[in-house]
Amino acid sequence: MADDKTPAFEIPKECRAGVVVNEGPDFHVEVQMVPVPEIKPNEVLIKLNATGICHSDIHFMLNDWAVPKMSTFGVRCAGHEGAGVIVKVGDAVKTLKPGMRAGLKPIQDTCGACELCRTDKECYCPGAVLTGLTCDGSYKEYVVSPERYTTVIPDGVSDYIAGPIMCSASTIYTSIKESNLKPGDWAVFPGGGGGVGMQGIQLAKAMGLRPIAIDTGEDKKKLCIETAGAEEFIDFKQVSDVAAEVIRICDGLGAHAVFVTAVQSYPSSISLLGGRIGGRVMCIGLPPAGTFHIDVDPNQLCFKKQGIEGTLVSNMADVDKTLQFAQRGLLKPIYTVYGLSQFNEAVQKLRRGEIAGRAVVDFNKELLTLPGMSSSSSSQPTRGQAEASSSRAPKHHPSVEDESDYEDEGLLGEDPLDHELPEQVSFKRKQKATSTPFSIRSFLSSPNRQSPVPRSPQPRLPHLRTASHPNDSTELILNYLDNPANAGHHPQDAKDATGLDWYVEGPGRRVGYDDLTAIDWIFEYAKERQRLRYLYSSATGVLGSVKQLADASQVWIILVAAGLLSGTIAAFIDISGDWLGDLKTGYCSNVEGDGRFYLNKAFCCWGYSELSQCHDWHPWSNALGIHSEVGSWIVEYIFFVVFSILFAACASILVREYSTYAKHSGIAEVKTVLGGFVIRRFLGGWTLLIKTLGLCFAVASGLWLGKEGPLVHVACCCANLFMKLFSNVNGNEARKREIFSAAAAAGISVAFGSPIGGVLFSLEQLSYYFPDKTMWQSFVCAMVAAVTLQGFNPFRTGKLVLYQVTYHSGWHNFEIVPFAFLGILGGLFGGFFIKLNMSIAEWRKNRTYLKGPVTEVVLVTLVTALINYPVKFMRAQASELVHVLFAECIDLTEDTLGLCKSGRANTGVITLLLISALIGIILAGFTFGLQIPAGIILPSMAIGGLYGRAVGLSVQVVQEAWPSLFIFNSCEPDVPCVTPGTYAIIGAASALGGVSRMTVSIVVIMFELTGALSYVLPIMIAVMLSKWIGDAISPRSIYESWIHVNGYPYLDNRDEGDAIPDVPASQVMTRTEDLNVITATGHTVQSLQLLLSQQHYRGFPVIDSSRDALLLGYISRTELAYALSTALSPPRNLSAETEAYFSHQPLSDPTNSLDLRPWMDQTPMTLNYKASFQLTLNMFQKLGLRYLLFVDRGMLKGLLTKKDVWYVMNGMEDRDEDAGYGRGPVQEDREEEDAEERGLLSTPIDEANTLDIHDLR
């Protein structure tokens, strides 16, 4: 049933019709009043505005086809090329509504059940109802059509064009399609000056063929060449041998296909093929029975593989496709329009062959008067060649046409797509503009002064859609691109700081990215190139050079500022963390010195050779007046546990209450962001503050965590903070990620005092895209950060980190074996630790008890503190422990941890070291993943240092016990042969390599920590073995594992090898029938807003029509929503009922319609649907795509998004509803807001709102 907004039409009881009288050779057509037909429940009533007159109508009325007479079926009105508007629908009609435009075809209905109907050959259906023969045709003003076989006429196609398309144009289109010609093939049209021939020439030209017209007369030659676009015209009255002339033109071989529309040409048609192998004669015109035949030699068909085929009429799908050619302006109107009283005159003239093009009768006017015609001439039929169209009907006649239809071709000529290039495209580099003479005015010209380029874009911009001449198109486009900031008349989104307004044909506009979406790398870099192009072309003179220098300096200002702030924050964390950590054991107090409570233990006891001699440091037992050994131990134990819990709880509360994104190390999220994913607020100023404060408390708590990894997150936050000051950088997501890569290097630089190692860490571990310029930017940022930290000198030792050491001796050849053993241990530790940590993470996610993050942190801290205090190796802060493990005994002023023993006393130390390492592995496994800022780098190094020192001590014990063994021959007497500290640092490198799977960066970091070039080789050996062993146990690093467990849509740009499924993309893509697609026309602003409210997909492919999946482009949800919102707002203030479209509509009024093409990506990345998934993955990895559309000869077959590929690569057949968004800080933040829109495959398809196009294959 129609809704309240469906237009109502007054339907008369009788209507006008062209009735055939005296059927036979002496027939004529007489305009009479006939009853308006009644409709059945599944039918619609169409009020025709115009009808084409076809030669088939004449044959029906002549009755010369040896078919039953029209009167046999009670039919009085011929015709089958009607176009009008639906005025009434049956009760069972669901898809059509009154007010929709529709046409009447040669086939009114079919059985719909036979094999022919099921295979798109319904025009040959035995049960077909023939319009104008077995039922009344389009010569009647009101006609009936069944719903399922009614063709909807798209907007932008006038009734004068649509009517003839129903039969003649669509039939010739089907014939051309079935001929299987390729672009560049020769197509000959005997009778090309006729209506069908003219349409065939245009369609052949549009399909890339080379049409040749055969006809006679200068008028027809002009029409065929200038209007229709034929490449050659042969006048058969002036050429003695037409076949020879055709063969000469067609490369001396003959036509690839001959399309016979003029029946008189059948006898000679086969000769036009000449010697062309595979040539075809396509029979279209239907001669009277027993008149014209094709005489053919079967040998010619066999030896030349030539053939003869016939085409009756088109199926419904081909009619739709032909209408699309007209909609795109590729089928120009060439017709003569007659008034209703001239019906018989038009029919008889067509019968005598006196009409060029098509003949059309307008039901709404007795005599049609076109613009430019005098009243005296209006009594004559008017030929509309690229000008005429149906006019607005009187109010009592329903019509969808308006006065703008007269300017069909004029509007068509204004569209940039219809322009011809003024010259051949050249790819040669353009010469530089000649330099202008020196002048003070030019020397001091304003950077905003007009650019001295040959083109002047500004005057042309207001006429972007009204180019006066087709050849202006190329210059117009180039001028438009030269000055993007001033282009267009509508305000840009504030997110698009550069103000780029791209040309209507291309990648479309962008308004920023939603949270938890992927960026478009290609678009971002293209936008940056466009910005620079405009900058360098518009900025001249000294001030222009200054402007360019200022623009180029923005990145360096950001990097230097980020380095300074990163170094400052690192120094603050070092100082604050050490003071809070030492506060667990006591406090500094010196009454004579006015008190120094703010000093940590090292500074409080500065100058003492042994800490036991320091009287300024007061343990808590002394503060309480407890002096017994047992009592002091218990009191200090309690204070240690209480302060540990307090600091950890503070860190966790800060994260929970103020910034969820401040938890964990942040490296997994940074990798995801650098991979092109948008996580709002993850790098914000509030996150920076909470991360900094949280790190101070977390490090002081004594948990098995470190600050090194989180400092990477901190450095990126610093860079993001300063980026907001520069809109050119902040507005480009790709440039932002280059700066983040550089800033990440600063984080590692201040964490290890290793600027070069930081650069390599960013390159090896973090960066998804790392161009050469980023290497230099990373180095500068890392260097500035390191120099800043050096300037603060937080340890007052000149060292950037506490555990920097210097070794006084080298290593011996026999130590290669234990070094390699340490590498194996590191790989085993890394592989099994990752599995342990991931198992704990999954358990933590699925458990039903102790769900509170603060509660869990307090419990883990309680257990850790209870274990740490009794074990002296674990009681120390992690950085202090690593420092002692790395150091040589001769460099320690005091052996506070009891590592420097000799002989068999080392046995107990070795045992304690190994026990500490095992406990550390378990505690670190539970700690990494808590809701606090926590890194895994330092705990890994501490664990590696523990078992490395144990191995070193073991080797030292063996060497000291049996110094005369041959393997120790290289050892000098009375000189320590084995340095256990070197084993600790190699063990630390192997452990870090096993966990992070880094190689080169670890070697460089360790080298910068020790400064000993001689130890690079054993470190390399250990790291290499560690990575091999770790990869064999767990293929992902700890950070990639957390990316996987959190469900972040990160695609590693490295080759996955065997992990890539060896299947075609068609097996994993979302097929067209399961997609929510948008058709090019038939929308209003309100209907599109309803679509957005009902469907939560990130974007929609745009296709030509519901029956034809010809891909036009892709529009994202963000751009569509913004375009609709701005259209309803000032200055446009369009109504919700405003028509919206995604393709060129020459007849639409720009002031009362919404063209969404500028917001659509009309050049999306596409791939053949038969391509392999490996190629698909490579395109996503290397090009940074957000989505990829799969096509077959331009027809949409399916789609894959970045998240869909991530699903496949992670083996997720049953897709978790949260996968692809993250279960870490991203997911928690998402749960606080409304449910975010999901990727195409993350949400079940809503069948009720899905376009039904199951027949698209």
Per-residue pLDDT of 88-112, as tens digits, reads 999 999 889 999 999 999 998 888 8
Structure confidence at residue 594 (pLDDT): 52
For residues 1098 and 1238, membership in a common domain is answered with yes
Would you say 1027 and 826 are in contact if contact means Cβ atoms under 8 Å apart? Answer: no
Residues 200 and 105 in one domain: no
Same domain, yes or no, for 408 and 454? no
d(CA 923, CA 1031): 23
Domain limits at 132?
Answer: 14-153+333-414
pLDDT at 419: 35
Buried b vs exposed e over 891-907: b needs ≥16 C-beta within 10 Å? eeeeeebebbeeeeebe
Residue 175 and residue 147 share a domain: no
Instruction: Give the chain's domain count.
Output: 5
Q: Is the pLDDT of residue 670 over 80?
A: yes
* The two three-digit tokens of residue 108, written as one number: 């009114």
The candidate with the shortest Cα–Cα distance to 573, out of 752, 878, 794, 865, is 794
Place of tokens 């529709």: 102
pLDDT single digits (tens) 557-599: 999 999 999 999 999 999 999 899 888 888 888 745 555 777 8
Whether 1035 and 1070 map to the same domain: the answer is: no
What is the DSSP secondary-structure string of 1232-1248?
HSSPPP--TTTS---GG
1030 confidence band (pLDDT: 50, 70, 90): very high
Of 262, 285, 313, which closes a domain? 313
The predicted structure's pLDDT at residue 810: 80
Tell me what the mean pLDDT of segment 651-670 comes to: 92
Closest to 810 (Cα-Cα) out of 577, 978, 957, 936: 978
| CA–CA distances in Å: residue 637 to residues 510, 599, 643, 869, 936 | 60, 22, 10, 7, 26
Element (DSSP H or E) covering residue 959: helix 937-961
Q: Does pLDDT of 811 surpass 90? A: no
Cβ atoms of 1093 and 1129 within 8 Å: the answer is no
For 712-741, give one letter per residue: b (16+ CB within 10 A) or e. bbbbbbbbbbbbeebebbbbbbbbbbbbbb
Residue 788 forms part of a structural domain: no
Q: Are strands 82-89 and 43-53 parallel, antiparallel or unpaired?
A: antiparallel
pLDDT of residue 614: 80
pLDDT, greater one: 146 or 1207 = 146
Helical axes 1000-1010 vs 733-752, angle rounded to 10°: 40
Domain endpoint, select from 369, 394, 414 = 414
Rounded-to-integer distance, Cα 45 and Cα 88, Å: 5
Expressed in angstroms, the distance from the first to the final Cα of the chain is 32
Q: Is position 888 within any domain?
A: yes
Q: Is residue 126 reached through a cis peptide bond, with omega within 30 degrees of 0 on the bond before it?
A: no
Bridge partner residues of 260 (DSSP): 283
Cβ neighbourhood burial of 327 (10 Å; 0-12, 13-18, 19+): buried
pLDDT band at 317 (very low <50, low <70, confident <90, very high): confident
Residues pairing with 104 in the sheet: 82
Task: Specify the 3-state DSSP secondary structure of 268.
Answer: helix
Please report which helix (H) or strand (E) contains residue 156, including its range: none
For residues 1119 and 1156, give the distance between their C-alpha atoms in angstroms, rounded to a whole number: 9
The helix/strand/coil state of 134 is coil
pLDDT, average across residues 1138-1166 = 86
CA 915 to chain CA mean position, Å: 52
Residue 436 has pLDDT above 60, yes or no: no
Question: Do 1040 and 1061 share a domain, yes or no?
Answer: no
Pairing of strands 358-362, 43-53: antiparallel
Is the pLDDT assigned to residue 527 strictly greater than 80?
yes
The residues facing 129 across adjacent strands are: 109
Look at residues 1139, 1113, 1114, 1109 and name the one whose alpha carbon lies nearest to residue 1124. Answer: 1139
Which residue blocks in 48-158 are alpha helix, DSSP H? Answer: 55-62, 115-118
In a domain, 5, yes or no: no
CATH number of the domain residue 1065 falls in: 3.10.580.10
Percentage with pLDDT > 70 across the chain: 82
- φ and ψ at 850, to 5 degrees? 50, 50
| Residue 249 reports pLDDT greater than 60 | yes
In a domain, 1042, yes or no: yes
Same domain as 259, residue 110 = no
Query: Of 106, 69, 64, 130, whose CA–CA distance to 292 is shortest?
Result: 64
pLDDT at 3: 53
359 and 302, same structural domain?
no
- Which of the four pLDDT bands, split at 50, 70 and 90, describes residue 1189? very high
Q: Is 164 inside a domain boundary? A: no
In a domain, residue 785? The reply is no
Same domain, 991 and 1131: no
Q: Are 1044 and 1218 in contact (CB under 8 A)?
A: no
pLDDT score of 255: 95
Say which range, 662-666, 882-886, 964-968, 1169-1173, has the weakest mean pLDDT.
Answer: 964-968
Question: Based on C-alpha coordinates, what's the Rg of the chain?
Answer: 41
Cα 1154 versus chain centre, distance: 24
Residues 1069 and 954 in one domain: no
Query: Does 1074 score more than 70 pLDDT?
Result: yes
Residue-level pLDDT at 390: 38
Name the DSSP letter for residue 421: P
Q: How far apart are CA 858 and CA 299, in angstroms?
A: 95
Band the pLDDT of 1055: cuts 50, 70, 90: low
- Given a cut of 70, whether residue 307 has pLDDT beyond it is yes
Residues 6+ apart with CB under 8 A from 538: 447, 448, 449, 450, 451, 483, 544
pLDDT at 442 exceeding the cut of 50: no
In degrees, rounded to 5, the angle at the alpha carbon of residue 361 between the alpha carbons of residues 356 and 363 is 165
CATH of the domain at 950: 1.10.3080.10
What are the CA-CA distances from residue 54 to residues 164, 180, 799 (Å)?
A: 8, 26, 95
Choose one of 501, 517, 533: the last residue of a domain.
Answer: 517
The answer to whether residue 501 sits within a structural domain is: yes
In a 3-state reduction of DSSP, which class is residue 215?
Answer: strand
Judge if 76 and 110 occupy the same domain: yes
pLDDT of residue 370: 35
Is 1167 a member of any domain? yes
Q: Is 1160 found in the same domain as 1094? A: yes
Six token digits for residue 1196: 């949409």
Q: Count Cα atoms within 13 angstroms, Cβ side, for 1173.
A: 23
Q: Is the pLDDT of residue 690 over 80?
A: yes
Reply yes or no on whether the pLDDT at 951 is more than 60: yes
Of 301-310, 377-386, 949-958, 1237-1246, which range is least confident?
A: 1237-1246
Cβ atoms 102, 292 nearer than 8 A: no
Assign 1150 a pLDDT band (cuts: 50, 70, 90).
confident
Backbone CA torsion sign across 182, 186, 192, 198:
positive
Question: Kind and range of the H or E element at 244?
Answer: helix 242-249
Distance CA 1135, CA 1119 (A): 19
CATH number of the domain that residue 298 is part of: 3.40.50.720
pLDDT tens string 41-77: 999 999 999 999 988 889 889 888 878 889 888 899 9
Percentage above 90 pLDDT, the chain: 37
